[in-house]
Copies of this chain bind each other. A is one copy, B any other.
Amino acid sequence: MEKFENIVILAAGRSTRFWPLKDKNLFIFCGESLIYYQFKKLSPYAERIIIIANQENAYFLRKLFASYSKVKIVIQKGEGQASALLSLANKIGGEVLLVNNIDIFNEKIILPQIIKERNNHQLILTAKEMKEYFPGGYLKLKKKQVVELIEKPGPEKRPSNMVRLVVDYIANFQDFINILKKVKNPMRDGAFEEGLNLYLKKTPSTFINYQNYWYFLKYPWHVLSLKHFFLSGIKKYTGKDVLIDKTAKIKGDVYLEDGVKIHEYSKIVGPCYIGKNTIVGNYCLVRESMIGDDCLIGGYSELTRSYLGNRVYLHRNYLGDCVVENNVLFGAEAVCANFRFDEKEIYSVVNGVIIGSQRNKLGVVIGSNVKIGVNASLMPGVKIAAGSMVMPNSLVLKDVKSEVGY
Protein backbone atom coordinates (compact mmCIF):
# COMPACT_ATOMS: atom_id res chain seq x y z
CA MET A 1 0.00 0.00 0.00
CA GLU A 2 1.22 3.51 -0.78
CA LYS A 3 1.89 5.47 2.39
CA PHE A 4 2.25 9.02 3.65
CA GLU A 5 5.61 10.02 5.07
CA ASN A 6 3.90 11.50 8.13
CA ILE A 7 0.40 11.35 9.49
CA VAL A 8 -0.09 13.99 12.18
CA ILE A 9 -2.97 13.39 14.57
CA LEU A 10 -4.20 16.36 16.59
CA ALA A 11 -4.99 15.07 20.08
CA ALA A 12 -4.14 18.01 22.31
CA GLY A 13 -7.45 19.88 22.31
CA ARG A 14 -8.74 20.90 25.72
CA SER A 15 -12.05 19.16 26.38
CA THR A 16 -13.90 22.02 28.10
CA ARG A 17 -16.96 21.62 25.89
CA PHE A 18 -16.84 17.89 26.64
CA TRP A 19 -17.42 18.53 30.38
CA PRO A 20 -18.28 16.66 32.59
CA LEU A 21 -16.56 13.93 30.61
CA LYS A 22 -12.79 13.78 30.50
CA ASP A 23 -10.27 13.61 27.67
CA LYS A 24 -12.02 12.90 24.37
CA ASN A 25 -8.97 11.20 22.88
CA LEU A 26 -8.88 8.60 25.61
CA PHE A 27 -12.63 8.04 25.67
CA ILE A 28 -13.37 4.32 25.38
CA PHE A 29 -15.61 2.77 22.74
CA CYS A 30 -15.98 -1.00 22.57
CA GLY A 31 -13.10 -1.44 24.98
CA GLU A 32 -10.66 0.77 23.08
CA SER A 33 -9.74 4.45 23.35
CA LEU A 34 -10.70 6.67 20.44
CA ILE A 35 -7.06 7.53 19.68
CA TYR A 36 -6.18 3.86 19.44
CA TYR A 37 -9.10 3.28 17.11
CA GLN A 38 -7.88 6.11 14.87
CA PHE A 39 -4.34 4.81 15.00
CA LYS A 40 -5.48 1.38 13.85
CA LYS A 41 -7.32 2.90 10.92
CA LEU A 42 -4.54 5.27 9.83
CA SER A 43 -1.49 3.14 10.57
CA PRO A 44 -1.55 1.18 7.30
CA TYR A 45 -1.29 4.49 5.43
CA ALA A 46 1.59 5.96 7.43
CA GLU A 47 5.35 5.53 7.55
CA ARG A 48 5.35 7.59 10.71
CA ILE A 49 2.56 8.79 12.99
CA ILE A 50 2.99 11.92 15.10
CA ILE A 51 0.38 12.43 17.81
CA ILE A 52 0.23 15.94 19.23
CA ALA A 53 -0.66 15.53 22.88
CA ASN A 54 -1.27 17.90 25.77
CA GLN A 55 0.46 17.92 29.14
CA GLU A 56 -2.25 15.75 30.64
CA ASN A 57 -2.82 13.01 28.14
CA ALA A 58 0.80 12.67 26.97
CA TYR A 59 1.57 10.25 29.80
CA PHE A 60 -1.28 7.94 28.84
CA LEU A 61 -0.59 8.22 25.13
CA ARG A 62 3.08 7.35 25.61
CA LYS A 63 2.09 4.32 27.64
CA LEU A 64 -0.52 3.31 25.10
CA PHE A 65 1.89 3.46 22.15
CA ALA A 66 5.05 2.41 23.96
CA SER A 67 5.49 -0.66 21.80
CA TYR A 68 4.81 1.08 18.47
CA SER A 69 8.10 2.46 17.15
CA LYS A 70 6.26 4.14 14.30
CA VAL A 71 4.37 6.42 16.70
CA LYS A 72 5.87 9.60 18.15
CA ILE A 73 4.13 11.66 20.84
CA VAL A 74 4.85 15.41 20.76
CA ILE A 75 3.56 17.70 23.49
CA GLN A 76 1.92 20.82 22.14
CA LYS A 77 3.18 24.25 23.21
CA GLY A 78 0.43 26.80 23.65
CA GLU A 79 -3.23 26.53 22.73
CA GLY A 80 -5.02 26.00 19.44
CA GLN A 81 -4.43 24.21 16.17
CA ALA A 82 -1.81 26.64 14.84
CA SER A 83 0.23 26.16 18.01
CA ALA A 84 -0.17 22.43 17.60
CA LEU A 85 1.47 22.49 14.21
CA LEU A 86 4.10 25.03 15.19
CA SER A 87 5.11 22.56 17.90
CA LEU A 88 6.32 20.38 15.03
CA ALA A 89 8.52 23.06 13.39
CA ASN A 90 11.92 21.55 12.57
CA LYS A 91 10.76 18.18 13.86
CA ILE A 92 9.43 16.71 10.66
CA GLY A 93 9.99 17.30 6.96
CA GLY A 94 8.42 16.00 3.79
CA GLU A 95 4.73 15.44 3.40
CA VAL A 96 2.10 15.48 6.14
CA LEU A 97 -1.42 14.16 6.31
CA LEU A 98 -3.10 16.12 9.06
CA VAL A 99 -6.12 14.66 10.85
CA ASN A 100 -8.02 15.60 13.97
CA ASN A 101 -8.53 12.71 16.35
CA ILE A 102 -12.10 13.75 17.15
CA ASP A 103 -13.21 13.54 13.50
CA ILE A 104 -14.28 10.03 12.59
CA PHE A 105 -14.45 9.39 8.84
CA ASN A 106 -14.08 6.55 6.37
CA GLU A 107 -10.35 6.49 5.70
CA LYS A 108 -10.77 3.85 3.00
CA ILE A 109 -12.60 6.35 0.86
CA ILE A 110 -10.64 9.55 1.53
CA LEU A 111 -7.05 8.37 1.78
CA PRO A 112 -6.79 6.48 -1.54
CA GLN A 113 -8.22 9.56 -3.27
CA ILE A 114 -5.62 11.83 -1.68
CA ILE A 115 -2.89 9.37 -2.63
CA LYS A 116 -4.13 9.50 -6.23
CA GLU A 117 -4.11 13.31 -6.27
CA ARG A 118 -0.98 14.03 -4.27
CA ASN A 119 1.39 14.19 -7.20
CA ASN A 120 -0.65 16.97 -8.78
CA HIS A 121 -1.25 19.29 -5.81
CA GLN A 122 0.73 20.82 -2.98
CA LEU A 123 -2.34 21.02 -0.74
CA ILE A 124 -5.41 18.81 -0.67
CA LEU A 125 -8.31 19.53 1.69
CA THR A 126 -11.33 17.32 2.40
CA ALA A 127 -14.91 18.49 2.57
CA LYS A 128 -18.40 17.10 2.81
CA GLU A 129 -21.37 18.62 1.04
CA MET A 130 -23.95 19.86 3.55
CA LYS A 131 -27.30 21.09 2.32
CA GLU A 132 -28.41 22.33 5.73
CA TYR A 133 -26.23 25.00 7.30
CA PHE A 134 -23.62 23.59 9.64
CA PRO A 135 -21.45 25.80 11.89
CA GLY A 136 -18.10 24.77 10.36
CA GLY A 137 -15.50 25.95 7.86
CA TYR A 138 -16.69 26.36 4.27
CA LEU A 139 -14.58 26.13 1.12
CA LYS A 140 -14.66 28.99 -1.37
CA LEU A 141 -13.98 27.33 -4.71
CA LYS A 142 -12.85 28.24 -8.18
CA LYS A 143 -13.72 25.08 -10.10
CA LYS A 144 -11.88 22.29 -8.24
CA GLN A 145 -9.43 24.73 -6.68
CA VAL A 146 -9.86 25.92 -3.09
CA VAL A 147 -9.49 29.70 -2.93
CA GLU A 148 -10.31 30.34 0.70
CA LEU A 149 -11.59 28.70 3.89
CA ILE A 150 -14.37 30.73 5.56
CA GLU A 151 -15.22 29.83 9.15
CA LYS A 152 -18.91 29.87 10.17
CA PRO A 153 -20.06 32.31 7.48
CA GLY A 154 -23.71 32.06 8.57
CA PRO A 155 -26.43 30.37 6.53
CA GLU A 156 -26.82 33.25 4.05
CA LYS A 157 -23.16 33.82 3.18
CA ARG A 158 -21.97 30.31 2.47
CA PRO A 159 -19.45 30.38 -0.40
CA SER A 160 -20.39 26.75 -1.25
CA ASN A 161 -21.99 23.77 0.44
CA MET A 162 -18.61 22.16 1.05
CA VAL A 163 -17.72 21.91 4.75
CA ARG A 164 -14.14 21.06 5.62
CA LEU A 165 -13.30 18.12 7.85
CA VAL A 166 -9.75 17.96 9.13
CA VAL A 167 -8.04 15.61 6.66
CA ASP A 168 -5.49 17.88 5.01
CA TYR A 169 -2.65 16.78 2.79
CA ILE A 170 0.36 19.14 2.81
CA ALA A 171 3.09 18.11 0.41
CA ASN A 172 5.76 20.34 1.91
CA PHE A 173 5.14 20.71 5.57
CA GLN A 174 8.07 23.05 6.29
CA ASP A 175 6.86 25.36 3.57
CA PHE A 176 3.46 25.50 5.28
CA ILE A 177 5.03 26.04 8.70
CA ASN A 178 7.01 28.99 7.35
CA ILE A 179 3.75 30.63 6.24
CA LEU A 180 2.03 29.76 9.52
CA LYS A 181 4.83 31.44 11.48
CA LYS A 182 3.80 34.75 9.92
CA VAL A 183 0.41 34.67 11.63
CA LYS A 184 0.28 36.89 14.71
CA ASN A 185 -0.86 35.47 18.02
CA PRO A 186 -1.02 31.82 16.94
CA MET A 187 -2.91 30.87 20.10
CA ARG A 188 -6.01 32.86 19.23
CA ASP A 189 -9.09 31.34 17.57
CA GLY A 190 -8.83 31.33 13.79
CA ALA A 191 -5.05 31.56 13.65
CA PHE A 192 -4.76 28.22 11.89
CA GLU A 193 -7.39 29.17 9.32
CA GLU A 194 -5.58 32.47 8.68
CA GLY A 195 -2.38 30.55 7.99
CA LEU A 196 -4.17 28.11 5.77
CA ASN A 197 -5.71 30.98 3.80
CA LEU A 198 -2.31 32.61 3.33
CA TYR A 199 -1.00 29.28 2.09
CA LEU A 200 -3.97 28.76 -0.23
CA LYS A 201 -3.16 32.06 -1.98
CA LYS A 202 0.25 30.86 -3.13
CA THR A 203 -0.25 27.10 -3.50
CA PRO A 204 -2.02 24.98 -6.14
CA SER A 205 -4.70 23.20 -4.14
CA THR A 206 -7.71 20.94 -4.58
CA PHE A 207 -10.14 19.10 -2.31
CA ILE A 208 -11.69 15.69 -1.92
CA ASN A 209 -15.47 15.72 -2.21
CA TYR A 210 -16.30 13.19 0.49
CA GLN A 211 -19.84 11.85 0.83
CA ASN A 212 -19.57 9.10 3.45
CA TYR A 213 -19.97 9.14 7.23
CA TRP A 214 -18.54 11.88 9.43
CA TYR A 215 -18.83 11.90 13.21
CA PHE A 216 -17.12 14.20 15.66
CA LEU A 217 -16.76 14.33 19.40
CA LYS A 218 -17.22 17.90 20.58
CA TYR A 219 -20.11 17.99 23.06
CA PRO A 220 -20.71 15.15 25.50
CA TRP A 221 -23.90 14.03 23.76
CA HIS A 222 -21.84 13.33 20.65
CA VAL A 223 -20.75 10.21 22.54
CA LEU A 224 -24.20 8.86 21.70
CA SER A 225 -23.69 9.38 17.95
CA LEU A 226 -20.32 7.68 18.15
CA LYS A 227 -21.76 4.89 20.25
CA HIS A 228 -24.36 4.42 17.53
CA PHE A 229 -21.62 4.37 14.88
CA PHE A 230 -19.51 1.84 16.73
CA LEU A 231 -22.51 -0.37 17.50
CA SER A 232 -23.57 -0.36 13.85
CA GLY A 233 -20.38 -2.32 13.11
CA ILE A 234 -20.91 -4.87 15.90
CA LYS A 235 -21.33 -8.56 15.14
CA LYS A 236 -22.73 -11.26 17.43
CA TYR A 237 -19.89 -12.56 19.59
CA THR A 238 -19.58 -14.47 22.84
CA GLY A 239 -16.27 -14.40 24.69
CA LYS A 240 -14.75 -16.90 27.08
CA ASP A 241 -16.40 -17.74 30.40
CA VAL A 242 -19.61 -16.02 29.40
CA LEU A 243 -22.68 -17.32 31.23
CA ILE A 244 -26.15 -16.71 29.84
CA ASP A 245 -29.04 -18.11 31.82
CA LYS A 246 -31.32 -20.19 29.65
CA THR A 247 -34.27 -17.91 30.44
CA ALA A 248 -32.40 -14.81 29.25
CA LYS A 249 -33.04 -13.52 25.73
CA ILE A 250 -30.31 -12.22 23.45
CA LYS A 251 -31.64 -10.69 20.26
CA GLY A 252 -29.69 -9.28 17.32
CA ASP A 253 -26.00 -8.43 17.30
CA VAL A 254 -24.77 -8.51 20.87
CA TYR A 255 -21.04 -8.55 21.56
CA LEU A 256 -20.27 -10.14 24.92
CA GLU A 257 -16.69 -9.83 26.14
CA ASP A 258 -15.02 -12.47 28.30
CA GLY A 259 -16.58 -13.16 31.65
CA VAL A 260 -19.94 -11.50 31.03
CA LYS A 261 -22.87 -12.96 33.01
CA ILE A 262 -26.51 -12.55 31.99
CA HIS A 263 -28.96 -13.65 34.67
CA GLU A 264 -32.52 -14.99 34.65
CA TYR A 265 -35.26 -13.29 32.69
CA SER A 266 -33.12 -10.51 31.28
CA LYS A 267 -33.28 -9.36 27.68
CA ILE A 268 -30.56 -7.80 25.58
CA VAL A 269 -31.57 -6.34 22.23
CA GLY A 270 -28.69 -5.61 19.84
CA PRO A 271 -26.75 -3.91 18.66
CA CYS A 272 -25.04 -3.93 22.04
CA TYR A 273 -21.51 -4.17 23.36
CA ILE A 274 -20.95 -5.47 26.90
CA GLY A 275 -17.48 -5.22 28.39
CA LYS A 276 -15.41 -7.73 30.35
CA ASN A 277 -16.85 -9.28 33.50
CA THR A 278 -19.93 -7.12 33.45
CA ILE A 279 -22.93 -8.68 35.18
CA VAL A 280 -26.49 -8.20 34.00
CA GLY A 281 -28.82 -9.15 36.87
CA ASN A 282 -32.45 -10.34 36.78
CA TYR A 283 -35.28 -8.73 34.86
CA CYS A 284 -33.03 -6.27 33.02
CA LEU A 285 -33.73 -4.74 29.62
CA VAL A 286 -30.72 -3.52 27.66
CA ARG A 287 -31.16 -2.07 24.16
CA GLU A 288 -28.74 -0.48 21.69
CA SER A 289 -26.26 0.28 24.44
CA MET A 290 -22.56 0.15 25.03
CA ILE A 291 -21.47 -0.98 28.50
CA GLY A 292 -17.90 -0.99 29.78
CA ASP A 293 -16.01 -3.50 31.91
CA ASP A 294 -16.87 -4.65 35.44
CA CYS A 295 -20.30 -3.04 35.48
CA LEU A 296 -23.26 -4.35 37.44
CA ILE A 297 -26.60 -3.85 35.74
CA GLY A 298 -28.62 -4.58 38.86
CA GLY A 299 -32.04 -6.21 38.88
CA TYR A 300 -35.00 -4.51 37.18
CA SER A 301 -32.76 -1.99 35.37
CA GLU A 302 -33.53 -0.69 31.92
CA LEU A 303 -30.86 0.79 29.71
CA THR A 304 -31.84 2.19 26.33
CA ARG A 305 -29.53 3.69 23.69
CA SER A 306 -26.98 4.60 26.37
CA TYR A 307 -23.26 4.60 26.98
CA LEU A 308 -21.80 3.35 30.28
CA GLY A 309 -18.10 3.41 31.08
CA ASN A 310 -16.35 0.95 33.40
CA ARG A 311 -17.57 0.04 36.88
CA VAL A 312 -21.02 1.58 36.60
CA TYR A 313 -23.57 0.12 38.99
CA LEU A 314 -27.29 0.30 38.29
CA HIS A 315 -30.10 -0.94 40.53
CA ARG A 316 -33.74 -0.75 39.48
CA ASN A 317 -33.01 2.31 37.28
CA TYR A 318 -34.18 3.59 33.97
CA LEU A 319 -31.54 5.25 31.79
CA GLY A 320 -32.47 6.34 28.28
CA ASP A 321 -30.03 8.09 25.91
CA CYS A 322 -27.54 8.68 28.74
CA VAL A 323 -23.76 8.97 28.86
CA VAL A 324 -22.13 7.81 32.08
CA GLU A 325 -18.35 7.72 32.55
CA ASN A 326 -16.49 5.47 35.02
CA ASN A 327 -17.15 4.44 38.65
CA VAL A 328 -20.71 5.66 38.91
CA LEU A 329 -23.23 4.27 41.36
CA PHE A 330 -26.99 4.63 40.98
CA GLY A 331 -29.25 4.21 44.00
CA ALA A 332 -32.35 2.09 43.58
CA GLU A 333 -35.22 3.54 41.55
CA ALA A 334 -33.34 6.64 40.37
CA VAL A 335 -34.65 7.63 36.94
CA CYS A 336 -33.11 9.56 34.07
CA ALA A 337 -35.83 11.20 31.99
CA ASN A 338 -34.89 11.41 28.33
CA PHE A 339 -37.36 13.67 26.58
CA ARG A 340 -39.18 16.90 27.21
CA PHE A 341 -42.93 16.91 27.65
CA ASP A 342 -43.17 19.39 24.78
CA GLU A 343 -41.12 16.96 22.66
CA LYS A 344 -38.78 19.80 21.64
CA GLU A 345 -35.03 19.71 21.14
CA ILE A 346 -33.15 19.24 24.39
CA TYR A 347 -30.64 21.95 25.10
CA SER A 348 -27.73 22.12 27.47
CA VAL A 349 -25.70 24.97 28.93
CA VAL A 350 -22.05 24.68 27.89
CA ASN A 351 -19.59 27.24 29.24
CA GLY A 352 -22.53 29.48 30.07
CA VAL A 353 -24.08 29.32 26.60
CA ILE A 354 -27.26 27.43 25.70
CA ILE A 355 -26.44 24.85 23.07
CA GLY A 356 -29.11 22.86 21.23
CA SER A 357 -28.19 19.19 21.27
CA GLN A 358 -30.03 18.52 17.99
CA ARG A 359 -31.67 15.64 19.82
CA ASN A 360 -35.18 15.35 21.19
CA LYS A 361 -34.17 12.28 23.15
CA LEU A 362 -31.28 12.87 25.50
CA GLY A 363 -30.89 11.74 29.08
CA VAL A 364 -28.23 12.76 31.56
CA VAL A 365 -24.46 13.05 31.14
CA ILE A 366 -22.50 11.94 34.21
CA GLY A 367 -18.78 12.30 34.85
CA SER A 368 -16.68 9.74 36.71
CA ASN A 369 -16.93 8.89 40.41
CA VAL A 370 -20.49 10.06 40.89
CA LYS A 371 -23.10 8.65 43.27
CA ILE A 372 -26.80 9.10 42.60
CA GLY A 373 -29.22 8.74 45.53
CA VAL A 374 -32.22 6.44 45.57
CA ASN A 375 -35.41 7.69 43.92
CA ALA A 376 -33.59 10.68 42.37
CA SER A 377 -35.12 12.12 39.19
CA LEU A 378 -32.65 13.52 36.65
CA MET A 379 -34.03 15.67 33.87
CA PRO A 380 -33.07 15.50 30.17
CA GLY A 381 -29.79 17.10 29.15
CA VAL A 382 -28.57 17.63 32.72
CA LYS A 383 -24.84 17.16 33.29
CA ILE A 384 -23.35 15.95 36.56
CA ALA A 385 -19.78 16.87 37.49
CA ALA A 386 -17.27 14.13 38.20
CA GLY A 387 -17.03 13.39 41.92
CA SER A 388 -20.53 14.64 42.76
CA MET A 389 -23.20 13.11 44.94
CA VAL A 390 -26.87 13.59 44.08
CA MET A 391 -29.24 13.58 47.06
CA PRO A 392 -31.73 10.74 47.38
CA ASN A 393 -35.26 11.68 46.29
CA SER A 394 -34.02 14.88 44.62
CA LEU A 395 -35.20 16.44 41.38
CA VAL A 396 -32.20 17.55 39.35
CA LEU A 397 -33.30 20.24 36.92
CA LYS A 398 -29.93 21.72 36.00
CA ASP A 399 -26.25 20.89 35.85
CA VAL A 400 -24.53 19.79 39.04
CA LYS A 401 -21.13 21.43 39.27
CA SER A 402 -18.43 20.01 41.45
CA GLU A 403 -16.72 22.08 44.11
CA VAL A 404 -13.46 20.59 43.07
CA GLY A 405 -12.22 20.28 39.51
CA TYR A 406 -10.48 17.19 38.24
Q: Is the Cβ of B299 less than 8 Å from the Cβ of A282? A: no
Q: Is the Cβ of A337 less than 8 Å from the Cβ of B331? A: yes
Counting CB contacts under 8 A, is A285 at the interface? Answer: yes
Q: Is the Cβ of B302 less than 8 Å from the Cβ of A302? A: no
8 Å CB interface, A358-406 against B: 371, 373-375, 377, 379, 389, 391-395
Counting CB contacts under 8 A, is A315 at the interface? Answer: yes
Q: Is the Cβ of A335 less than 8 Å from the Cβ of B337? A: no
Counting CB contacts under 8 A, is A207 at the interface? Answer: no
Partner of A331, one of B267, B283, B335, B375: B335
B residues less than 8 Å from A300 (CB atoms): 283, 300, 302
Bound together, the chains give a CA A302 to CA B316 distance in angstroms of 10
Q: Is the Cβ of A341 less than 8 Å from the Cβ of B371? A: yes
Counting CB contacts under 8 A, is A332 at the interface? Answer: yes
Report the minimum CB–CB distance from A337 to chain B (whole Å): 5
B residues less than 8 Å from A373 (CB atoms): 337, 341, 377
Given contacts A332-B335, A389-B341, contact A375 B377 (CB under 8 A): yes
Given contacts A264-B249, A337-B332, contact A315 B318 (CB under 8 A): yes
Residues of A near any B CB (own CB < 8 A): 247, 249, 264-265, 267, 282-283, 285, 299-300, 302, 315-316, 318, 329, 331-333, 335, 337, 341, 371, 373-375, 377, 379, 389, 391-395
Q: Apart from A375-B395, A392-B395, what 6 extra A-B contacts exist at CB < 8 Å?
A: A247-B247, A302-B316, A337-B374, A341-B373, A377-B393, A393-B393
9 sample A-B contacts, Cβ–Cβ < 8 Å, listed by A number: A265-B265, A267-B282, A282-B285, A283-B300, A302-B316, A335-B374, A341-B389, A375-B375, A391-B395
